[in-house]
Amino acid sequence: MDTLALLADGFATSLSPLNIMIVLLGVTAGLFIGAMPGLGSVNGVAIVLPLTFIVPPSSAIILLCAIYYGAMYGGAISSILLGIPGASTAVATTFDGRPLAQQGKAGLALIAAAVASFIGGTISVVLFTLFAVPLADLALAFGPAEEFALVLMAFTTFVGLGGDDKLKTIIMICLGLVLSTVGLDLISGQPRLIFGDMPGFYSGISFLVLAIGVYGIGEILYTIESSRTAPQVTPARITLRDLGDGIRTMNRMWRTMSLGSFLGFFVGMLPAAGATPAALMAYGIARSTSKTPSSFGKGNLEGVAAPETANNAASTGSLLPMLTLGIPGSPTTALLLGGMVMWGLMPGPMLFIEQPEFVWGLISSLYTANFAAVAINIALIPLFVWALRMPFTVLCALVMVLCIVGGFAPSQKMHDVWLIAGFGVAGYLLRKADYPLAPLVLALVLGPLMEKSFRQTLIAEQGNILAFVERPLSGTFIALAALFFVLPLVKYLRKGGARSIAPAE
Amino acid sequence: MIYKMTRRAALAGVASIAMIAAGATSALAENWKPQKPVEMVIMAGQGGGADRLARLFQSIIQKEKLSSMPVLPVNKGGGSGAEALRYLKDNAGDAHKIMATLNSYYTTPLRTDIGVDIEEFTPIARMALDTFVLWVNADSDIHTLDDYVAAVKASGGEWKMGGTGTGQEDSLVTAMLEKEFDIKVTYVPFKGGGDVAKNLVGGHIDSTVNNPSEALGFYQAGKVRPIVAFTPDRMEVFPDTPTATELGHDIVYWMQRSFVAPKDMPAEAVAYYTEMFRQLSETEEWQTYTKDKALMADFLTGDELQAYFIEEREKHAAILADMEGDGSS
Amino acid sequence: MLVADRVIAIAIMALSAYLMWHATALPIGWNGMTGGPGGGAFPFWLSLIMLLSAGGVLVRSLGQEKSSQHFFDGQMLRSVIAVVIALFVTIALIPLVGAYVALPLFLFWYLKIYGGHGWVLTGILTLGAPVFVFFFFEATLKILLPKGVTEPLFFPLYAMFF
């Protein structure tokens, strides 16, 4: 009851005309920033942060939430239209979003992404409203061992399946993991794999650089080669009927979407994990529990809906440890945390007690931002789809410029732009030789988390490797990971091995 | 025209920048203004304590209009700041780059040979000194430093001390503790101070050496307990926590938060930035922040700052030599 | 196809060996003192698995028969190489002459010479893209792009928009 009263007060603030304007502005800006390959919510929030000093904190936090949400929606746009994940959270969206766009169904995929994001956002905000405080303790129960087990689970839900060439998949996973170790060894504090002391490698190889390289440049080169012999991209079109069809189709995906929302919220809540493993796990689970797993990776709408519900739910979830524990789960929440400190608020266990107006104002603005984001997103879909109808040579030229500028923007190093070009050429050749690229990118994203938590656990437990299974929470995750790994095998055996398992890509 | 003049000044390689900067140069500062946005290089990744502080400075500069051009933070945290140090070295003479430092400013070049000599850089201003406190979980029975030492000894080396990485500030304090009390702990590195504090509250590690700002929230909620402060005097926010010095153990350690500029930055530019940070240090926001976060706002510029850097580097060289001598990690 | 498959497998094996060599700069074994693998262990052993798997691909390809399918189509390969060279030249030019010269040059080449589009479209995009990039990245997001020798030309713009 108390909660509801506080939330009502929050809505009274966030629904004032000025604040509604702010939400619309923020969401639109966020949407475009998120849709740009290389840029994400972190760029938008970083720019606006100093400005928030000038406006009152309640309006400032609304603006920040609006940009945060807008960018989460926007991430799916570049994944679907260009096949370049704008942020690691949107990798899984490319797996089915890109094929859909190539079949001329970009509009449908974008609608699915928007609706799924809305559902994920809504369910997670409700969970947040109801359980924010008690759930903080769960986040605390996660130590390095549990983190490792969780990442392992994210990995196996994904890798356990798939009918690609096994040897080549293994090579790509290992390559991704090795590339993820470039830079600094956190445990000993020594640089490693910096290839003859090149300072550009000190900070490691960022996910964005690899993704823009192999999915951006590599994809363009691949399409240039195949475009004249067999056109791959069907011109996209969108009508109002598509919108209705899209929403009707979505109606059949409640199971996937609610699973994605819960999974996203709970995984996103854990400081070390966040939205990326959540989206991957949602995709993996949607595929392995589907009646037609073979349709995944070839343009199944559920393959767009699952990761999109999960990553949006996770972005709400990751606000929870920031507010209740003062621990940011992602660079963006770290910046939000910095903003709160600047406004003189002390995030942590006391925030809910000492600053209830702020907390519930924030939560109510999440609701408002979510509504605004889905409305603006759907309204802009025709514009995005229209952009895809440009002549191929024009689109390629513009995307390449975007790849260069977007690759430079996050770290502001020419080193990264060269790496993008290199990865682009390498990705093109590997793709032609039937090496799967998704495991490479996934391994790079999950690798650092895996190695760090694995070694932290072993140090803390004096080298006792059994620690992973002895702890109840991490033991459970390891068991689940093993289950996900063998599940496809069981399915395969039950079918008598007559039909082979679904190909992943 | 102005651009050309700046270039010439840079090429001339003014040797005595520090000397000029040390003097009262507000008259000179009026002549020079940044021509383009100023890049504020941060020696750490996004979200850490150093990053948050740098962005706070950015906000105050923007709000109080202390600079005619925006100051834009850029994170170059790779290799414990080695990336930032190399970047600054490669941009000698640049009048539009400044760097926010922490103690890895000394330790990183000492630990790995990255070809950087910090004496070449131009000191701008020291804004504050951050403090360190030894923390345990509030559920533990440890209330005093003696309890702590006894508990660590009883654990037989299995005592888990969380920190932000070997060679980082807290690991140096840990090494000093080990040496002073002849104890042995297992040092578990985490990604950042917030992560360390969370793992302490969650019971995954036994103690930490955190900055107060990183553990203050948990302290106010009664989840963590300060055991001893590594400051010369008791801290205002923890009046009941003794300092190591008053218990008869000479362990004092600071984290400096300063700004430096590339080698051979034109003297006018140095004067401009020095004045900018002087004004910043007098703003109300900064004063409130330092008080709330238990920071020592100790403003220092020019030659004195350079002398301070060199002295600190010697101290850190000695601590690091001790650490490696022990063969501990 | 088969030849390309073998060449790529050999290239991966070489890369793995190179990575293994770099990884040995840090301990690669199980360190009893600190409890757990050393800093070089992950990259070293994973590179070894990569080396062995690529070896497997190579061995497997030896038993396969030559297919008539070619890895590269001669004419298409020429377009790909042209684009790759243009991309590399553009990136090399950015630090020298700045993004606002290099990127329009790239667009002009791609649209007019490679793509064969008309002057109007080429003109609009070649001039419009840098303007968009400036206002989106620099004026709005405050992300500065490299300007090289063109830097002084931007001082008045900075004064206006910041």
Give B6-38 as a 3 state SS string: HHHHHHHCCCCHHHHHHCCCHHHHCCCCCCCCE
DSSP 8-state secondary structure symbol assigned to residue A266: H
Residue B329 falls inside a structural domain: no
Give the per-residue pLDDT at C33. 59
Subunit contact B69:C158, Cβ cutoff 8 A? yes
How far apart are the C-alpha atoms of A479 and B141, rounded to whole Å? 35
Give the per-residue pLDDT at B256. 92
Neighbours of chain B (3+ CB pairs under 8 A): A, C
Q: What are the residues facing B42 on neighbouring strands? A: B75, B100
Q: Identify whether residues B125 and B141 lie together within a single domain.
A: no
User: By mean pLDDT, which of A21-30, A134-143, B250-259 is the weakest?
Assistant: A134-143
Tell me the shortest Cα–Cα distance from B107 to chain C, in angstroms: 19
Q: Identify whether residues B81 and B98 lie together within a single domain.
A: yes
At residue A64, does pLDDT exceed 50? yes
Instruction: Indicate the residue of B73, B168, B188 with minimum beta-carbon distance to A460.
Output: B188
For strand B133-137 and strand B207-210, is the pairing parallel, antiparallel, or unpaired?
Answer: antiparallel
Between residues A382 and A197, the one the model is more confident about: A382
CB-CB neighbors (< 8 A) of B188 in chain A: 144, 456, 459-460
At residue A3, does pLDDT exceed 80? no
Binning pLDDT at 50, 70 and 90, where does residue B79 land? confident
Q: Identify whether residues C92 and C153 lie together within a single domain.
A: yes
- Looking up residue B180, the CATH number of its domain turns out to be 3.40.190.10
Q: Give first-to-last CA distance, chain B, whole Å.
A: 55
- Looking up residue B68, the CATH number of its domain turns out to be 3.40.190.150
Residue B146 falls inside a structural domain: yes
Interface test with A, best of B53, B97, B198 (most A CBs within 10 A): B198
Q: Identify whether residues B146 and B200 lie together within a single domain.
A: yes
Binning pLDDT at 50, 70 and 90, where does residue A411 land? confident
The answer to whether B70 and B102 are in contact (CB under 8 A) is no
Q: Identify whether residues B39 and B180 lie together within a single domain.
A: no
Chain A residue nearest residue C133, CA to CA: A405
Sequence-separated (6 or more) residues with CB below 8 Å from residue C98: C145, C146, C147, C148, C149, C150, C151
Between residues A292 and B148, the one the model is more confident about: B148
How far apart are the C-alpha atoms of C114 and C117, rounded to whole Å? 8
Q: Which strand (E) or helix (H) includes residue B258?
A: strand B255-261
Give the per-residue pLDDT at B313. 94
Residue B186 falls inside a structural domain: yes
> Is the CB of residue C2 less than 8 Å away from at least one CB of chain A?
no
* Cα–chain center distance at B156: 33
Write the CA distances from A464 to A174, A467, C34, C97, integer angstroms. 25, 6, 11, 57
Q: Choose one of B218, B253, B288: the last residue of a domain.
A: B253
> Is the CB of residue B5 less than 8 Å away from at least one CB of chain C?
no
Q: Identify whether residues C54 and C95 lie together within a single domain.
A: no
Interface test with B, best of A51, A53, A181, A454 (most B CBs within 10 A): A53
> Is the CB of residue B202 less than 8 Å away from at least one CB of chain C?
no
Give the per-residue pLDDT at A163. 59
For C3-26, the pLDDT digits (tens) are 888 999 999 999 999 999 988 888
CB-CB neighbors (< 8 A) of C122 in chain A: none
Neighbours of A5 (CB within 10 A): 11
Residue B328 falls inside a structural domain: no
Q: Identify whether residues C145 and C83 lie together within a single domain.
A: yes
At residue B329, does pLDDT exceed 80? no
- CA-closest candidate to residue A177, choices C42, B97, C161, B238: C42
Which amino acid belongs to residue C3? V
Q: Identify whether residues B143 and B102 lie together within a single domain.
A: no
Chain C residue nearest residue A425, CA to CA: C84
Interface of A with C in 401-460 (CB under 8 A): 401, 404-405, 408-409, 412, 414, 417-418, 421, 424-425, 428-430, 432-433, 435, 451, 454-455, 457-460
- B99 φ, ψ (degrees, to nearest 5): -130, 135
Q: Which of A170-184, A291-305, A473-487 has the highest mean pLDDT?
A: A170-184
Torsion angle of C-alpha atoms B138, B140, B144, B147, degrees rounded to 10 = -170
Neighbours of chain A (3+ CB pairs under 8 A): B, C
- Average pLDDT for A338-362: 78
Tell me the shortest Cα–Cα distance from C155 to chain B, in angstroms: 6
Instruction: Indicate the residue of B62, B78, B198 with minimum beta-carbon distance to A184.
Output: B78
Tell me the shortest Cα–Cα distance from C48 to chain B, in angstroms: 25
Residue C67 falls inside a structural domain: no
Residue B86 falls inside a structural domain: yes
Instruction: Indicate the residue of B83, B186, B197 with minimum beta-carbon distance to A462.
Output: B186
Q: Identify whether residues B47 and B112 lie together within a single domain.
A: yes
Q: Which of A284-298, B164-178, C81-95 has the highest mean pLDDT?
A: C81-95
Sign of the dihedral through C-alpha A272, A274, A280, A282 = positive
Q: Choose one of C62, C84, C114: the last residue of a domain.
A: C62
Interface test with C, best of B2, B35, B65, B80 (most C CBs within 10 A): B35
For A12-43, the pLDDT digits (tens) are 777 788 888 888 989 998 998 888 887 888 88
CB-CB neighbors (< 8 A) of C158 in chain B: 35-37, 69
- CA-closest candidate to residue B193, choices B42, B309, B51, B83: B51
Sequence-separated (6 or more) residues with CB below 8 Å from residue A306: A92, A116, A256, A257, A259, A260, A279, A282, A283, A285, A286
- A296 φ, ψ (degrees, to nearest 5): -75, 145
Tell me the shortest Cα–Cα distance from B24 to chain A, in angstroms: 30
For C74-128, the pLDDT digits (tens) are 777 888 999 999 999 999 999 999 999 999 999 999 999 988 889 999 999 999 9
Give the per-residue pLDDT at A274. 73
Count of structural domains, chain C: 2
The answer to whether A200 and A410 are in contact (CB under 8 A) is no
Q: What are the residues facing B243 on neighbouring strands? A: B229
C118's tokens: 């008309």
At residue B131, does pLDDT exceed 50? yes
Binning pLDDT at 50, 70 and 90, where does residue A233 land? low
A264's tokens: 């996203």
Binning pLDDT at 50, 70 and 90, where does residue C72 land? confident
How far apart are the C-alpha atoms of A397 and A342, rounded to whole Å? 42
Q: Identify whether residues B45 and B57 lie together within a single domain.
A: yes
Count of structural domains, chain B: 2
Residue C68 falls inside a structural domain: no
Give the per-residue pLDDT at B18. 39
- CA-closest candidate to residue A37, choices A331, A464, A398: A398
* Cα–chain center distance at C30: 35
At residue B274, does pLDDT exceed 90? yes
At residue B6, does pLDDT exceed 70? no
For A418-437, the pLDDT digits (tens) are 999 999 999 999 988 889 88
Subunit contact C155:B3, Cβ cutoff 8 A? yes
Residue C63: exposed, middle, or buried by beta-carbon count in 10 A (0-12, 13-18, 19+)? exposed
Residue B20 falls inside a structural domain: yes
Residue C69 falls inside a structural domain: no
A342's tokens: 């600047």
Residue B22 falls inside a structural domain: yes
Angle CA C53–C59–C63, to nearest 5: 140
For strand A183-185 and strand A190-192, is the pairing parallel, antiparallel, or unpaired?
Answer: antiparallel
- CA-closest candidate to residue A345, choices B282, B216, B256, B137: B216
User: By mean pLDDT, which of A333-342, B231-240, B293-302, C62-71 is the weakest?
Assistant: C62-71
State the residue range of the domain holding C101: 74-161
In the block, tokens 């000394």 appear at: B106
The answer to whether A38 and A406 are in contact (CB under 8 A) is yes
- A15 φ, ψ (degrees, to nearest 5): -100, 10
A38's tokens: 């290389």
Q: What is the pTM of this model?
A: 0.85
Q: Identify whether residues C56 and C98 lie together within a single domain.
A: no
Subunit contact C133:A401, Cβ cutoff 8 A? yes
Residue C23 falls inside a structural domain: yes
How far apart are the C-alpha atoms of B208 and B222, rounded to whole Å? 16
Binning pLDDT at 50, 70 and 90, where does residue B24 land? very low
Write the CA distances from B295 to A107, B48, B173, B292, integer angstroms. 54, 16, 18, 8
Residue B196 falls inside a structural domain: yes
Binning pLDDT at 50, 70 and 90, where does residue A502 land? very low
Chain A residue nearest residue C51, CA to CA: A171
Q: Identify whether residues B80 and B155 lie together within a single domain.
A: no
Give the per-residue pLDDT at A504. 40
The helix/strand/coil state of A166 is helix
Interface test with B, best of A181, A269, A336, A342 (most B CBs within 10 A): A342
Q: Give first-to-last CA distance, chain A, whole Å.
A: 49
Torsion angle of C-alpha atoms B290, B296, B300, B306, degrees rounded to 10 = -120
Q: Choose one of B253, B285, B302: the last residue of a domain.
A: B253
For strand B224-229 and strand B71-75, is the pairing parallel, antiparallel, or unpaired?
Answer: unpaired
Chain B residue nearest residue A144, CA to CA: B204
Chain A residue nearest residue C34, CA to CA: A459
Tell me the shortest Cα–Cα distance from B85 to chain C, in angstroms: 20
For B94-128, the pLDDT digits (tens) are 999 999 999 999 999 998 888 899 999 999 999 99
Neighbours of chain C (3+ CB pairs under 8 A): A, B
Count of CB pairs separated by less than 8 Å, A with C: 177
For A433-476, the pLDDT digits (tens) are 889 888 898 888 888 888 888 988 988 888 888 889 888 889 99
Between residues B281 and A439, the one the model is more confident about: B281
In the block, tokens 């798939």 appear at: A162
Subunit contact B220:A54, Cβ cutoff 8 A? no
Binning pLDDT at 50, 70 and 90, where does residue A401 land? very high
How far apart are the C-alpha atoms of B94 and B261, rounded to whole Å? 8
Q: Identify whether residues B23 and B77 lie together within a single domain.
A: yes
For strand B300-301 and strand B186-189, is the pairing parallel, antiparallel, or unpaired?
Answer: unpaired
The helix/strand/coil state of A119 is helix
Count of CB pairs separated by less than 8 Å, B with C: 23
Give the per-residue pLDDT at A236. 62
For C23-51, the pLDDT digits (tens) are 888 888 876 556 678 888 899 999 999 99
Tell me the shortest Cα–Cα distance from B185 to chain A, in angstroms: 10
At residue A159, does pLDDT exceed 70? no
Give the per-residue pLDDT at B2. 43
**Helices H / strands E in chain A, number of each:** 23, 2
Residue C11 falls inside a structural domain: yes
Q: Identify whether residues B204 and B305 lie together within a single domain.
A: no
Write the CA distances from A287 to A92, C63, C142, integer angstroms. 12, 35, 41
Tell me the shortest Cα–Cα distance from B295 to chain C, in angstroms: 30
Residue C52 falls inside a structural domain: yes
Question: pLDDT exceeding 90 applies to what percent of chain A?
Answer: 16
Binning pLDDT at 50, 70 and 90, where does residue A231 land? very low
In the block, tokens 């060679």 appear at: B167
Residue A201: exposed, middle, or buried by beta-carbon count in 10 A (0-12, 13-18, 19+)? buried
Chain C residue nearest residue B74, CA to CA: C143
In the block, tokens 């807008």 appear at: A70
Q: Identify whether residues C78 and C156 lie together within a single domain.
A: yes
Q: Identify whether residues B259 and B122 lie together within a single domain.
A: yes
Between residues C110 and B325, the one the model is more confident about: C110
Task: Determine what percent of chain A falls in helix, strand and coil, rounding each to the nearest 5.
Answer: 75, 0, 25
Q: Identify whether residues B224 and B266 lie together within a single domain.
A: no
Q: Identify whether residues C12 and C35 lie together within a single domain.
A: yes
State the residue range of the domain holding B182: 133-253
Radius of gyration of chain C (CA): 24
DSSP 8-state secondary structure symbol assigned to residue B168: S
Give the per-residue pLDDT at C67. 66
Cβ burial B30-60 (10 Å sphere, 16+ → b, else e)? eebebbbbbbbbbbbbbbbbbbbbbbbbbbb
CB-CB neighbors (< 8 A) of C154 in chain B: 36
